[in-house]
Every structure is written in structure tokens, then in C-alpha cells.
Amino acid sequence: GAGVSQSPSNKVTEKGKDVELRCDPISGHTALYWYRQSLGQGLEFLIYFQGNSAPDKSGLPSDRFSAERTGGSVSTLTIQRTQQEDSAVYLCASSLGGQGVANYGYTFGSGTRLTVV
Amino acid sequence: AQSVAQPEDQVNVAEGNPLTVKCTYSVSGNPYLFWYVQYPNRGLQFLLKYITGDNLVKGSYGFEAEFNKSQTSFHLKKPSALVSDSALYFCAVRDNTDKLIFGTGTRLQVFP
């Protein structure tokens, strides 16, 4: 597609429920990143994919968080047993692989606003 | 570890005046530095980057940034601010695993 697409744009869920957030990167972008932006906070790195593998998942805050990427394209971020502190905007970005980040930076999606009640 | 710092949570400036949003960095090796802007309820948009070359980098919407190696700074500037420039601005540095590390953001408020 022309840009990075994220769905849903908004999600309200009850505490303890599982949620799945989807990211569809720009076609041909082999690198995909998930970040979290909490109210009043900066961007917190969660996980990075190169193709279908995740060379850096150091930012996942707990084992309730997981992500996968299939076919080198769409990625899903799953949060199990959601807690109120998981409420945030979850941003996905993609980039060309190799020196893509150095040369082109990221293209971000519009994010998914998750509210846990 | 690579990092960036944005010392100001908010910058206020009158329309038509010059603006500066500050960023300092800490890296090992050559820095790859970026500025992004986030308008309300929108994703982040790329403004400009410094990889190598001229210390003054020009970007989108009339913004520019000055790379200063001795002061380890990469401040964002614009000669004449517009009300429509009001947004959240993030400085970022590429780390050695090829991801961007972002600062905490600076909210720019331009008053008419």
C-alpha cells in the first residue's frame, strides 16, 4: 500500500481481555517496528522485525506482550490479560532493510489507541 | 548506548518569531540523527535527517537543523514560526541495532 496501515484505530477493552493490533507495512519494506506512546511520555521501543524474524525484542515490557510477522509483511502485536497500564497509543513503523533506517528513517502508521477499562 | 535528550517539555513562541527546539545526543561512532513531528491524533512524520556532510540540514515545512559535533547537539530551527507548526516534536538517533531511539518529545506552541 501507499503507507503504513494500522487497525483498529481505536480499541477499548476490559481489563483481563486479550487484544490484537495489526500493522500492514509499506510494500517492500523488510524492517518493521512497534513502539508505544503513553500519555505524556515519549516513544518506547517494543520490538523490531527484519523479515519474519525479530532480532530485537528487548522492549517488550512483559511476557504478556508478543508479536509476530508473517510473509515478511503484516505484523500482529498481541497483549494478553490486558492491564490498565497497557493503555497507550501503539505505533507501527516500517523501513527499507539494510541501511534503510540510516538513509530513509521510518514511515509511521497513525497508530492504535488502546484503552483498557 | 545511543540516546538523545530533549531538555524542554514545551516551547512557546509567537507567530513570526524564530523557533528552536533543542536536542542533544550521545552516541559511539558517527551519529545518524532525525527529527519527526506529530500533529494531534496523527502518526509521526519525518522532517529531516543528518547522516553526513553539511552541518546545516534543511527539511520539510521550512525547518532546518544544525549538527554541532563539539556540543553533541542537533537543534531544530525555523526562522519564522507559524501557528500551524504547533505540534509535538521528537528527536531520534539510530542505534547499533538499526532502530531509532527517540527523545521524550517537545511540545511546540506557537501563539498568534
Which string of DSSP letters, residue by residue, matches B10-49? EEEEETTS-EEE--EEE-SSS--EEEEEE-TTS-EEEEEE
- Dump pLDDT digits (tens) for A47-77: 999 999 998 999 999 999 999 999 889 999 9
* Residue of A89, A106, A107, A113 for testing the chain B interface, max B β-carbons within 10 Å: A106
Spatial CA neighbour of A14 closest among A84, A106, A91, A76 = A84
Provide the 10 A C-beta neighbour count for residue B46.
17
Q: Could you read off the pLDDT tens digit of each residue along chain B, which spans 112 residues?
A: 789 999 999 999 999 999 999 999 998 888 899 999 999 877 899 999 998 888 999 999 999 999 999 999 999 999 999 999 999 999 999 888 888 999 999 999 999 9
pLDDT of residue A40: 67
Query: CB contacts < 8 Å between A and B, how many?
Result: 55
What residues of A are in the B interface, CB distance below 8 Å? Answer: 4, 31, 33, 35, 41-43, 45, 48, 55-56, 91, 93, 101-103, 105-111
Chain B hits for A107, CB-CB cut-off 8 Å, are 46
pLDDT digits (tens, 9 = 90+) for A72-116: 899 999 999 999 999 999 999 999 876 666 677 889 999 999 999
Q: Which residues contact B87 (CB under 8 A, 6 or more apart)?
A: B37, B38, B39, B40, B107, B108
- Measured in angstroms, the CA of B70 and the nearest CA of chain A are apart by 22
Rounded CA-CA distance B34/B9 in Å is 18
pLDDT for res B10: 96
Q: Closest Cα partner for B72 from B89, B98, B50, B90?
A: B50
Q: Which 3 state secondary structure label does DSSP give A113? A: strand
How far apart, in whole angstroms, are the C-alpha atoms of residue B83 and residue B88? 13
Mean pLDDT of chain A: 91
pLDDT of amino acid A98 = 65
Listed residue (B39, B45, B50) closest to B94, CA to CA: B50
Residues of B in contact with A31 (CB under 8 A): 98
Q: Do B49 and A4 touch (CB under 8 A)?
A: no
